[in-house]
């Protein structure tokens, strides 16, 4: 082999080694990118689940307030009752005028479908709950009225139940005391 041929063979061998390092570098880059994508996915999944939990509490509260409103809006002369179905909250069938207790019927944000229904002894809808069996992320620090959600094992344990308070009747004010007339000549 001549000197020129040795240089040419040496150059090809050097380029082959560089290609090996380039391949190894690309492989490491793919592994690092994969780890970053998995971490980002876990972060976004957790973030989305927290948002769905907030939405579950909001929607459950809205439905519960609408059930309270329905119960309290019972026409005079009738026994207060819960709606026979959730759709009755959209247009109260007991009233001749159009009365809405809820503007739209929310879906369960955890399942994207229907709610589980809590009924009273007469079959009226007293509350709702999610049908999701998944474990919640949030396990404490709930708003007032939702203390029972602490340490729940599944979203099905988050019950939004209406307990309407009876309407307060105004009470008559106690009679005002009339000042006693002072006697003439009395020193005060």
pLDDT digits (tens, 9 = 90+) for 64-89: 999 999 999 988 888 899 999 999 99
Is the distance from CB of 188 to CB of 182 less than 8 angstroms?
A: yes
Count of domains in the chain? 1
The answer to whether residue 187 sits within a structural domain is: no
Q: Output the pTM of the full model.
A: 0.69
Q: Please report which confidence band the pLDDT of residue 146 belongs to, taking 50, 70 and 90 as the band edges.
A: confident
Rounded Cα–Cα distance for residues 148 and 152 (Å): 8
The answer to whether residue 170 sits within a structural domain is: no
Q: Tell me how far apart the terminal alpha carbons of the chain are, to the nearest angstrom.
A: 136
Q: Is residue 24 within a helix (H) or strand (E), and if so which, with residue range?
A: helix 3-72
Identify the three-state secondary structure at position 28: helix
The answer to whether residue 172 sits within a structural domain is: no
The answer to whether residue 102 sits within a structural domain is: yes
pLDDT exceeds cutoff 80 at 107 = yes
What pLDDT was estimated at residue 154?
93
Is the distance from CB of 86 to CB of 115 less than 8 angstroms?
A: yes
Note down the domain range covering 155: 7-161
Rounded Cα–Cα distance for residues 15 and 8 (Å): 11
């Amino acid at each position: 082999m001549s000197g020129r041929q040795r240089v040419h063979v040496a150059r090809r061998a050097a380029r082959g080694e560089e290609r090996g390092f380039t391949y190894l570098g690309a492989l490491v880059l793919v592994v690092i990118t994969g780890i970053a994508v998995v971490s980002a996915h876990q972060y976004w999944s957790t973030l989305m689940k927290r948002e769905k939990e907030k939405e579950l509490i909001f929607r459950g509260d809205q439905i519960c307030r609408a059930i309270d409103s329905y119960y309290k809006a019972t026409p005079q002369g009738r026994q207060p009752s819960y709606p026979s179905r959730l759709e009755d909250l959209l247009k109260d069938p007991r009233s001749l005028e159009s009365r809405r207790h809820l503007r739209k019927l929310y879906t369960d944000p955890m399942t994207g479908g229907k709610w589980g229904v809590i009924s009273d002894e007469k079959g009226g809808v007293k509350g709702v709950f999610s049908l999701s069996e998944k474990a919640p992320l949030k396990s404490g620090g709930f708003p007032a009225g939702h203390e029972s959600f602490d340490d729940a094992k599944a979203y099905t344990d988050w019950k939004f139940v209406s307990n309407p308070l009876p309407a307060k009747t105004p009470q008559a004010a106690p009679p005002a005391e009339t000042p006693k007339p002072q006697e003439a000549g009395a020193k005060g």
